[in-house]
Structure 1
Amino acid sequence: MGITARGVGLLVAAVVLLGVGFRYAYPELAVLGVAAAVAVGYALVSAAWRPRLTVERVADPDRVARGEPAAMTLTVRNAGRLRAANLVAEDRCGGALVPVPLLRLRPGHDTEVRYDVPTRRRGVVPVGPLRVTRRDPLGLVALARSYGDSVPVWVHPRIHPLAAVPTGSGRSLDGRTDSVPHGSITFDSLREYVVGDELRRVHWRTSARVGELMVRENVDTSLPRIVVVLDNRVSAHPHRLAGVAESFESACEAAASVLAAAVREDLPVSLLLVAPAHDEPAGVTGPLDRLAAVELTDGGKLTDGREDSLRTAMTRLRQERLGDTLVFLTGPGARADLGPVGALRGAYPSLVIGVFGAAEPTPPGAAGLLVVDAADAAEFAAEWDGIRRW
């Protein structure tokens, strides 16, 4: 609860009038002082009334690509039974405030407001809670309360269509590694027949032995597995334009494009951040949500000046071998850190490095290291489709 400047002035006047009136026996001044004190008391009681409001929000849709339209529908209902609500309300949408008219909202009735959610930038836009300000008729006291929960709108990076997808690698018995564009089917196990299984997969010899139909389970042992590594260190994206690292935004869009292309081809794909997020927001349901929420962070320095998070990420990639195709996306500030990335060539047969926002071409370094320099994600998509050999 806050007393306005008018309320402070009237309260001071009440104290002065009462003091002077009683001290010097001026009943008129004392009466004025009592009237001022009563007005302030009435204002406190009037503003302290808490209206019973219920707030519902519906995001349409709650997940969009950057630049696509999104809207929020806000429904406010007066759940009280005695009096209408005349309030000043504002809904918080990201960093802006949206006015919500609540004039003569009768008991049992509701009002609906629909407004656009800004999607110009990638990120998670929190919408809400509704802030309702209650004022007395004289404008002496103002009391603000919050109603409803905050609802996030996920603004994903833009996706640029990619026609090309990496190929997998299958090892032959003689030790050679062959390119396998669509994987290979290998027997894995037997299980009981269920309605809908193809009869050509029935293993008749085993079925005759056990007395019931058994079918073969096959797995794709050499299906291409793609690992997308996004460099989210501050040092990798040093340049800012209006507070935004455009090279990092382009890297996020490139990561989303590779993920979408892999999902389209039913290929296993995973997303890894160089510097893991410490406070990932609730409600993340997939890699696109992670890309919407990811922010630049300090990777941490060791005594020798190397990035601690980069070394940790490279060690994990080397030890776990999460796939056979590694896509490393970074900015101009990490061009000197590509040596440890190139050292993963032995663990990952296909290795692609995307550098965004560099003023000049990046040297390939180790033999066979494929580096794609691009100003933005659209240029990266064009270069990606031009890769002839993974």
Structure 2
Amino acid sequence: MILTGRGVGLTIAGAALVAGGFGFGYPELAIVGTTSLIAVGCALVYGAWRPKLSVERAVEPDRVARGEGSTVTLTVHNDNRLLAASLIAEDRCAEVPVAVPVIRLRPRTESTTSYPVPTGRRGVVGIGPLRVTRRDPLGLIGLSRDHGGTAQVWVHPRVHLIRAVPAGISRSMDGRVDRVPHGSITFDTLREYVVGDELRHVHWRTSAKVGELMVREHLDTSLPRLVVLLDDRVGSYPDAAGAAPGAEIAPFEAVCEAAASIVAAAMREDLPISIHTVSGAEAATMGTRARSGARAHLDLLAEATLQPLTETTEAGANAALTQAANRLRQHRPGDTLIYLTGVGGLADLGLVGLLRGPFPTIAVGCLGPAAPDEPPTSGAAAGLLMLRAEDGLEFAAEWDGVRRW
């Protein structure tokens, strides 16, 4: 609760009039000053009353692709039994105030407001809380309170239709590529029996030792396990130099669209896939065993932002990529690596090429307009499958043009 400029002026004037009226013997001035102070006191009492409001917020849907529609439905209920509420309220959507009409809300009634969420940009849109502002009839005080919780809407990158990675070769469990017929099944692990498992998969010898039923888990090694490494270093995108914080960088948006398209293709074909960013964030699913994992992947892409370099030297610029490569080399989450970067990341392909040991197949997607000083990729990318495109749609065409991995 704060006094407005009018309230402060009236308080000072009222105190001066009371002091002058009693000091110089003018009772009329004292009466006027006392009336002013009483008005300020009444305003403070008015502001002490808090309306009983219940706020419910529903967002449908809370995850959308860029450009798709999402709607917020806000319901404000006056829980007071006797007094009506006449308030000025506004909700916040992506830091932009949205007016909510709560004028003359009678007791035990509610007001419902709906408004669209801006989904023109990839990212996470914060919604709420509802801020209610009250003023007394004379405008002497102002009071603002937040009601209700907050919500978020994940705006995923656009998805372009592409086909999954051709699975015409069989990869052994130690990472070597064996050209054997498609469809080989390999033992992976043992796990506890759950209702619905086939009894022919029960490993009776182990079950006898453990004392409970154990089931063999098999893995189709002909299916590639995809690993997407997303370059989120600001130095990999020349357009990001000098851009305002939070500004949309077209090449980086194209990289996110390419990653989202790969995720959609992998989910459609039930292929295991994991996404890692150079900065360290990751999300992984294993095909049909985690069908909802597509949400985790796309949420990660919605939250992805360019990370500034902590060092300005060339070695410092490569430090984050070196750490990411070491993580992939140690954990080996898959056998097919897809590295997505901008034009500035072409100079670091040597680090990616060193991963050819744990990853038999490595593809590099470079997105963004060609730069005049763009380094040649023939020597640095020896043994790497290069996909050069300016945007996500062109990347989809390049991807579908690959005949063999």
- Using structure 2 for the length normalisation, give the TM-score: 0.85
Pick from 290, 294, 313 the counterpart of residue 300 of structure 2: 290
Superposed CA RMSD in Å reads: 3.1
Distance change (3 Å), C-alpha of 1:190 and 1:73: closer
Number of residue-to-residue matches in the alignment: 380
Alignment of 1:98-117 (within 5 A): 98-117=98-117
Give the distance between the partners of 1:172 and 1:94, measured in 2 at CA. 47
Gaps in structure 1 of 5+ consecutive residues = 279-283
The residue aligned with 2:377 is 363
The residue aligned with 2:5 is 5
The residue aligned with 1:154 is 154
Question: How many angstroms does 1:125 deviate by?
Answer: 0.6
The residue aligned with 1:52 is 52
Alignment of 1:330-345 (within 5 A): 330-345=341-356
Matched AA of 1:388: R
Q: 1:293-322 CA distances to partner (integer Å, 9 max, x unpaired)?
A: 121112433864443211100111222222
Give the distance between the partners of 1:122 and 1:204, measured in 2 at CA. 48
Gaps in structure 2 of 5+ consecutive residues = 283-293
Distance change (3 Å), C-alpha of 1:160 and 1:31: same
- Percent of residue pairs identical: 56
The residue aligned with 2:323 is 312
Question: How many angstroms does 1:219 deviate by?
Answer: 3.1
Distance change (3 Å), C-alpha of 1:216 and 1:324: closer
Pick from 258, 266, 277 the counterpart of residue 273 of structure 1: 277
Give the distance between the partners of 1:338 and 1:273, measured in 2 at CA. 16
The 8 Å contact of residues 180 and 223 in structure 1, kept in 2 or not, is answered as no
Question: How many angstroms does 1:186 deviate by?
Answer: 2.9
Give the distance between the partners of 2:10 and 2:78, measured in 1 at CA. 32
Question: How many angstroms does 1:368 deviate by?
Answer: 2.0
Question: How many angstroms does 1:224 deviate by?
Answer: 0.9
Distance change (3 Å), C-alpha of 1:216 and 1:352: closer
Alignment of 1:59-208 (within 5 A): 59-167=59-167, 169-171=170-172, 177-179=177-179, 183-187=183-187, 201=200
Q: 1:322-353 CA distances to partner (integer Å, 9 max, x unpaired)?
A: 21110111112222112101221232111111
Give the distance between the partners of 2:181 and 2:31, measured in 1 at CA. 94
Question: How many angstroms does 1:358 deviate by?
Answer: 3.7
Question: How many angstroms does 1:153 deviate by?
Answer: 0.8
Give the distance between the partners of 2:268 and 2:37, measured in 1 at CA. 72
The 8 Å contact of residues 299 and 308 in structure 1, kept in 2 or not, is answered as no
The 8 Å contact of residues 165 and 224 in structure 2, kept in 1 or not, is answered as no
1:22 maps onto 2:36 in alignment: no
Give the distance between the partners of 1:128 and 1:153, measured in 2 at CA. 11
Matched AA of 1:296: L
- Using structure 1 for the length normalisation, give the TM-score: 0.88
Distance change (3 Å), C-alpha of 1:342 and 1:186: closer
Farther-moved stretch of structure 1 (9-18 vs 358-367): 358-367
Give the distance between the partners of 1:33 and 1:181, measured in 2 at CA. 98
Question: How many angstroms does 1:48 deviate by?
Answer: 2.2
The 8 Å contact of residues 52 and 79 in structure 1, kept in 2 or not, is answered as yes
The residue aligned with 2:35 is 35
Matched AA of 1:367: A
Q: 1:91-136 CA distances to partner (integer Å, 9 max, x unpaired)?
A: 0011211101111111111110000000000111111000000110
The 8 Å contact of residues 187 and 216 in structure 2, kept in 1 or not, is answered as yes
Give the distance between the partners of 1:180 and 1:372, measured in 2 at CA. 27
The 8 Å contact of residues 183 and 224 in structure 1, kept in 2 or not, is answered as no
1:229 maps onto 2:229 in alignment: yes
The 8 Å contact of residues 251 and 342 in structure 2, kept in 1 or not, is answered as yes
Question: How many angstroms does 1:291 deviate by?
Answer: 0.9
Matched AA of 1:275: S
Matched AA of 2:252: F
Matched AA of 1:250: A
Matched AA of 1:263: M
